[in-house]
Amino acid sequence: MGGAERVGPWRWAGIALALVLALFPFLVLALNSVRPAGEFLSPGAGLLPAQPTLEHYRAVLGGDGETWRFLLNSVVVTAAATALAVALGAPAAYALARWRLPFRLSLVIGLSFLVVRFYPKIAVAIPFYLLMRDWGLLDTHLAVILAHASLALPLVVWILLGFFEEIPREIELSAMLDGCGAWLRFRRVVLPLSLPALGAAAILTAILSWNEFLLASTVAAGEARTLPVRIAGFITDKGTQWGPMSAMGTVIVLPVALFALLAQRWLARGLTAGAVKG
Amino acid sequence: MVTVAVADEAAERRRRRGVRPLPDGLVLGAFLVPALVLLGVTQFWPLAASFGISLHDWTLARSPVMGEFVGAANYARVLSDGQFTGALGFTLALALGSTALSLAAGLALALLTVGEDGRLRLVRALLLFPMVIAPVAVGTIWRMILSARVGTLNGMLGALGLPQPNWLGDPMLARISLAVIDAWQWTPFVMVVMAAALTALPADVLRAARMDGAGRALVFRRITLPLILPTLMLVGMFRLVDALMTLDIVVTTTGGGPGFATQTLSWWIYQQGLRYFNLSVAAAASWLLLALCFGVAALMLLARRRAARWLP
């Protein structure tokens, strides 16, 4: 499809409709986060809050500072899980791309990474909980970090594997002839060429970890709760706390939406890497 | 240039330390092992353990350790449980509905927004929003929109004097709502991948066809569609498998209700295992779900090979 193609009025109309459908829910979230508690239940209330208020933000971010802890938990877990997944995944992908193992072992190992994408995580949740209980790691950051890094590892490996395989071997060959071992070739030749792919892998891992609910809620139900686990707690048997839920929803959604906007190109690259080539 | 500099540096280091580089096999092995260990300990071992648990009798409330071997009894129990089969039915319907909806909408969006124009690129970035936010938050947001009394949608319908259905409170409407919510979140995924597939199409072939007088519809059906079909099938497979595992949006929208109308398999297993600590039943059910996911994935890959033949 040529880049110079003219975008006609009908196409813009379709795009406008799509934007409304995709973004209107975000508007509702933002408006509800500044809607006074009393306005939620009044039937005649319009879309715009009559008297906007920051009370919900004060409630979830001020006071006892509870939300700050959950926010901090999420930041720590996301940063550490991303670092761990990329630090383990990049060398592993390089080994799979360059190492000729007998019995098609490279393929078998590569597929065993991929298989993680295809089974329901609820199947590992309970034994993972028991394992963390036995290791004394329940309700710690480390338990959630391990869970998220292992979920993201296959993603990192497959994005980077595709990328490493496309780097011409000649580049490495000359380094090899000059006496560079595998470590130096990886560290000084391949990695500097792979920054876009590393960026894409890191971004997808960070988003996955920031958003993950199931395993985080399984192993960290107290002090170490992350934001998605906390937000689910707003729906109680007593009823839904709409205001605070909206404020915290905004807190969890805003960073990742900004992130997506800034890193759009890398994000699209990561998302399509697996699917298009597969 | 780079490699020369690097090689010089390597040689320099060796002179200083008087060592030869490690054999490649050793280094590459050391590259691979940590990742395999992490995956083995935190994914594959728990997965295998859950299969073991599914063959034994174990309720955590009664005993802290696994009970006796019972063979396939847990599987028989799960399969004869009306709630499980109900959840199975809803999960299949949800997966099919959400996948079909998101494939159609995602392909339409890809066709609408494909192009290198800066404005189109911004549009695509904005349309990505639903898929990058937490599914738990997606559920929360849609609960605000669809709630019968507080919801934005019924507020707008009321203002127009239209009836205000109980979107999440009526069994059938709640099921449809969940499929729409799931499709809303994952349509951007289909869009991104299909936009990439459309960009990769051979431009000269398309141009030649247009110059030969083929209309847009004909070009799409005879050239574009056959070329993007393998990618579409692959995306469909990912969507189906993911939708079969749906849990998060159920947690923050309906909680499986009204009654048990919107229990997905993952939700039912979550309740059995992590709420009632009925570990062996949960483990057996999760292996049935796993088999379903693998089966569907295999079926889609098989279908993908033959898909070209089905085209009109």
ipTM, two decimals, is 0.90
CA distance A214 to A229: 8
Contact residues for B65 (Cβ-Cβ < 8 A; gap 6+):
B58
**Domain parsing of chain A, residue ranges:** 8-53, 57-277
Fold of A57-277: MetI-like fold (1.10.3720)
Contacts of B276 (CB under 8 A, 6+ apart): B59, B61
B273 vs A1, A23, A125: nearest CB? A125
What does the alpha-carbon distance between residue B210 and residue B225 come to, in Å, rounded to a whole number?
15
pLDDT digits (tens, 9 = 90+) for B57-82: 998 878 888 888 898 899 999 999 99
Q: How far apart are CA B163 and CA B7, in angstroms?
A: 75
Closest CA relative to residue A92, chosen from B311, B129, B34: B34
Burial of A242 (0-12, 13-18, 19+ CB in 10 A): buried
Cβ(B206)–Cβ(B224) under 8 Å? yes
Rg (CA), chain A: 23
Instruction: Please answer yes or no on whether B112 and A11 come within 8 Å at the CB atom.
Output: yes
**CA-CA-CA-CA torsion for B136, B142, B144, B149, nearest 10 degrees?**
-130
* pLDDT < 50: residue spans in chain A: 1-4, 276-278
pLDDT of res. B67: 84
Task: Note whether A91 and A154 are within 8 A (CB).
Answer: no
Map residue A236 onto helix, strand or coil: strand
Phi then psi dihedrals of residue B20, to 5 deg: -90, 155
Q: What is the DSSP letter of A158?
A: H
CATH code for B71-310? 1.10.3720.10
pLDDT at A278: 35
Q: Are B227 and B276 in contact (CB under 8 A)?
A: no
- The Cβ-side half-sphere exposure at B134, using a 13 Å CA radius, reads 30
Nearest-angstrom CA–CA distance, B241 and B300? 10
Would the pLDDT of B200 be above 70? yes
* Residues within 8 A of A (CB atoms), B 40-59 only: 41-47, 49-50, 53
Contacts of A214 in chain B (CB under 8 A): 247-248, 266, 270
pLDDT value of position A15: 95
pLDDT on residue A4: 47
Tell whether B280 lies on the interface with A, counting CB pairs under 8 A. no
CA of B246 vs chain A CAs: smallest distance (Å): 9
Q: Is A239 helix (H, G, I), strand (E, B) or coil?
A: strand
DSSP state of A225: -
B154 contacts B143 by C-beta, under 8 angstroms:
no
Determine which helix (DSSP H) or strand (DSSP E) holds A240, and give its type and residue range.
strand A239-240
State the pLDDT at residue A238: 61
Closest by CA to A262, choosing from A220, A203, A201, A205, is: A203
Interface check B289 vs A, CB under 8 A: yes
Distance CA A80, CA A84 (A): 6
pLDDT at A273: 67
Chain B CA closest to residue A128: B46
Residue from the list B189, B251, B279 with its beta carbon closest to the beta carbon of A271: B189
Helix (H, G, I), strand (E, B) or coil at A58: helix
Q: Is the pLDDT of residue B14 over 70?
A: no
- The whole-chain average pLDDT of chain B stands at 89
Q: At what angle do helices A264-277 and A195-211 cross, to 10 degrees?
A: 90
- Taking the C-alpha atoms of residue B295 and residue B298, their distance in angstroms, rounded to an integer, is 5
Kindly list the domain boundaries of chain B, sorted by start residue.
71-310
Would you give the distance in Å from CA B128 to the centre of its chain? 15
Q: Does B286 touch chain A (CB under 8 A)?
A: yes
Cα separation, B270 vs A214, in Å, equals 9
Rounded Cα distance between B312 and B309, Å, is 8
pLDDT on residue A277 = 42
pLDDT in tens, B155-192: 888 888 898 899 999 999 999 999 999 999 999 999 99
Residue written as token pair 């933000």 = A57
A contact test, residue of B270, B286, B287 with most A CBs within 10 A: B286
Treating both helix axes as pointing N-terminal to C-terminal, what angle do B24-39 and A141-166 enclose, rounded to 10 degrees?
140
- How close B172 comes to chain A (CA, Å)? 22
Predicted pLDDT of residue A129: 94
Residue from B265, B290, B66, B41 nearest A128 by CA:
B41
Average pLDDT over residues B277-287: 94
Contact A146 B42 (CB under 8 A): yes
Tell me what the mean pLDDT of segment B113-118 comes to: 86
Does the beta-carbon distance from B137 to A22 stay under 8 Å?
A: no
Whether B287 shows a pLDDT value over 90: the answer reads yes
| pLDDT per residue as tens digits for the range B255-267 | 888 989 999 999 9
Nearest CA in chain B to A154: B39
Reference A113, options B235, B46, B47, B36; nearest CA is B36
Query: Closest chain B residue to A181 measured between Cα atoms?
Result: B21
Note the Cα B202 to chain centre separation in Å: 30
